[in-house]
Amino acid sequence: MRSRYDIQLRVPEVCRPSAMREGQINETIQEYIEGIYRLQQEVGRVATNEVAQYMGVSPASASIMLKRLAEMNLVEHTPYRGILLTDEGTQLAHQLLRIHRLTERLLTDIIGLPWNDVHDFACKLEHYIAPEIADKIAEALGFPATCPHGNPIDPTFDDGSWRLSDAVAGTDLLVIKITDERREFLEYIESLGLVPGAQVEVVSRTPFDGLIQINVDGKQHTIGPEVARYVWVKEPS
Amino acid sequence: MRSRYDIQLRVPEVCRPSAMREGQINETIQEYIEGIYRLQQEVGRVATNEVAQYMGVSPASASIMLKRLAEMNLVEHTPYRGILLTDEGTQLAHQLLRIHRLTERLLTDIIGLPWNDVHDFACKLEHYIAPEIADKIAEALGFPATCPHGNPIDPTFDDGSWRLSDAVAGTDLLVIKITDERREFLEYIESLGLVPGAQVEVVSRTPFDGLIQINVDGKQHTIGPEVARYVWVKEPS
DNA sequence: GAGCTTTTTTAACCTCATCTAAATTATACA
DNA sequence: TGTATAATTTAGATGAGGTTAAAAAAGCTC
Ligand SMILES: [Mn+2]
Ligand SMILES: [Mn+2]
Ligand SMILES: [Mn+2]
Ligand SMILES: [Mn+2]
């Protein structure tokens, strides 16, 4: 006898969540690789505890994950001497960073979201945008060079900028990029007018605490080194 | 003594995967709700086995999930009599369908992807596009009325169309929407020219097997009821 | 080199979402 | 009205990604 279960009920607009399959480069893995890449840019070789702290997990969890990443050939692990991304891992990080930044541009330039919102959204979306979509997005945007915060779409491109915290008094500089993309930080940066493309005059620097007196758009501000560290500048050409 | 772990390493461009938290409406839950909504549109009350078959999981898995959905107040479960979406579940399904269809429009109209690719991509992205982004997308697209396949952006809107499989011979009709959005199906539909907006003449119908002789753009085709079932038409006004 | 501190790993356990196999409940029909 | 069959649920397992607590390895300091 034919049961209801045997009848093929055809409702074809199917969507299934991609069950996390074994050994897949899923969202979690991607997030770790991106995090490790950023840490490595700052400090070189990365320690287990640094990954744990940055990813917001316990050192035990990070240890287990690093073991998995090493098995997947994405990081190279020398016990008690930290990790380094392999070529494959670096390539994956570059690919993700490109997609992330293109997505941010899409969200600001076409969808019309404010620049301080887009990082968090792009951070989720980046894992579900295939490289072929990213290529199409780049094309639709007219191949932009940077994300809305000034970071190069091509992560291997060296824009030659340096940190405003390293600038000396009496120079006129051009803001290139902001590398702290948290909503509140960008809000503060915007209130100072210190956005990519802006002109900054470094008026003076104080000794010991390294405060920087700047002049942007005719307005004077004093910022500390913890803010200036994430504002990258260059001599205007 | 200060250890390396105590030092706050500030690398602020943090991204973390949202660890699947208890009782959250995550991607999996959303996919089930969408699936149940589509099944309910076709057959009314939905049986556990139908959910299982549609979602591609075992009846045991579906049973467990339906229990959870009932606990979350998204479906109403009468034991051995199937389930029905609650108002809350229906509202969630509508919200997801709207975001899905807007995303498809974004992918075709702005990103430039072909109409037969966008369903699968939108199916992943829909879960990571906040309603506030969806509103912005709608605005950027000029508030489109339908997805690229003709389905209304507002899922509560009744476009008054019916299935081409129910059409009688000798009528001239307008294609409104296609409700099988699988890549290959849409490819076939396109090869027939049976896309939304096209004019179809129903030339004749055969008895018993219900084949339909149609005329689209001056070309004759014969299609079966399993294709015609997912092509929705209306009298041209 | 001994002994303490820091870092890393292992052990045991948790939730989510799946599975298979077995048990249970409802329905249909002789 | 029993009994076969179909539908559903429960039991017990798994892998991914997390937890805390404890063990082990490395690195300082004397
Ligand atoms: Mn991310
Ligand atoms: Mn950015
Ligand atoms: Mn989906
Ligand atoms: Mn569609």
Q: Closest nucleotide to residue A49 (Cα to C1')?
A: C7
Provide the shortest C-alpha distance from residue B121 to chain A (in Å): 8
**Out of A1-10, A154-163, B210-219, least confident range:** A1-10
Model pLDDT, residue B22: 67
The one-character DSSP state at A171 is E
Residue A32 binned pLDDT confidence (cut-offs 50, 70, 90): very high
User: In this structure, which topology does domain A162-234 adopt according to CATH?
Assistant: SH3 type barrels. (2.30.30)
Model pLDDT, residue A2: 38
B23 touches strand C (CB under 7 A): yes
The one-character DSSP state at A93 is H
Q: Which residue is nearest to nucleotide C18 (CA to C1')?
A: B61
Q: Could you give the angle at which helices B87-105 and B118-125 cross, rounded to 10 degrees?
A: 130
Model pLDDT, residue A23: 74
pTM, rounded to two decimals: 0.92
Among candidates A13, A31, A136 on the partner chain, residue whose Cβ is nearest the Cβ of B15: A31
**pLDDT tens-digit map of A82-126:** 899 999 999 999 999 999 999 999 999 999 999 999 999 999 999
The H or E element spanning position A106 is none
Residue pair A38/B11 in contact (Cβ under 8 Å)? The answer is yes
B59 touches strand D (CB under 7 A): yes
Residue A223 binned pLDDT confidence (cut-offs 50, 70, 90): very high
**pLDDT tens-digit map of A166-212:** 999 999 999 999 999 999 999 999 999 999 999 999 999 998 888 99
Q: What is the Å distance from ligand 4's center to B148 Cα?
A: 6
Q: Looking at the structure, give the CATH architecture of the domain made up of residues A1-148.
A: Orthogonal Bundle (1.10)
Residue A42 binned pLDDT confidence (cut-offs 50, 70, 90): confident
With a cut of 80, say whether residue A16 has pLDDT above it: no
The H or E element spanning position A190 is helix A183-192
pLDDT tens track, chain B, 237 positions: 334 444 456 677 777 776 666 678 999 999 999 999 999 998 889 999 999 999 999 999 999 999 999 999 999 988 777 899 999 999 999 999 999 999 999 999 999 999 999 999 999 999 999 999 999 999 999 999 999 999 999 999 999 999 999 999 999 999 999 999 999 999 999 999 999 999 999 999 998 888 999 999 999 999 999 999 999 999 998
User: What is the mean predicted confidence (pLDDT) over A43-72?
Assistant: 95
Domain ranges of chain B: 1-148, 162-234
User: What is the mean predicted confidence (pLDDT) over A132-146?
Assistant: 97
Return the HEC string of chain B. CCCCCCCCCCCCCCCCCCCCCCCCCCHHHHHHHHHHHHHHHHHCCECHHHHHHHHCCCHHHHHHHHHHHHHCCCEEECCCCCEEECHHHHHHHHHHHHHHHHHHHHHHHHCCCCCCCHHHHHHHHHHHCCHHHHHHHHHHCCCCCECCCCCECCCCCCCCCEEHHHCCCCEEEEEEEECCCCHHHHHHHHHHCCCCCCEEEEEEECCCCCCEEEEECCEEEEECHHHHCCEEEECCC
Provide the shortest C-alpha distance from residue B173 to chain A (in Å): 24
Chain B residues within 8 A of A128 when measuring between CB atoms = 121, 124-125, 128
Model pLDDT, residue B78: 80
Tokens 């992918």 belong to B107
Rounded to whole angstroms, the maximal C-alpha distance in chain A is 90
Q: Closest nucleotide to residue A24 (Cα to C1')?
A: D16
Q: Tell me the percentage of chain A whose pLDDT exceeds 70.
A: 93
Q: Closest nucleotide to residue A1 (Cα to C1')?
A: D5
Please answer yes or no on whether A113 and B121 come within 8 Å at the CB atom: no
Residue A9 binned pLDDT confidence (cut-offs 50, 70, 90): low
Please answer yes or no on whether A55 and B16 come within 8 Å at the CB atom: yes
Provide the shortest C-alpha distance from residue B23 to chain A (in Å): 17
User: What is the mean predicted confidence (pLDDT) over A2-6?
Assistant: 42
Cα distance between residue B163 and residue B168, in whole Å = 11
* CA distances to A207, B109, B124, B187 from B180, in Å: 69, 20, 17, 11
Among chain A residues 70-109, those with CB within 7 Å of any atom of strand C: 77, 79-80, 82
Residue A20 binned pLDDT confidence (cut-offs 50, 70, 90): low
Please answer yes or no on whether B4 and A47 come within 8 Å at the CB atom: yes
User: Taking Cα atoms as reference points, which of A94, A28, A89 lies closest to residue A64?
Assistant: A28
With a cut of 50, say whether residue A7 has pLDDT above it: no
Residue pair B178/B223 in contact (Cβ under 8 Å)? The answer is no
Interatomic CA–C1' length for residue A3 and nucleotide D5, angstroms: 9
B129 touches strand D (CB under 7 A): no
Mutate to test the interface with B, among A3, A8, A9, A15 (most CBs of B within 10 A): A15
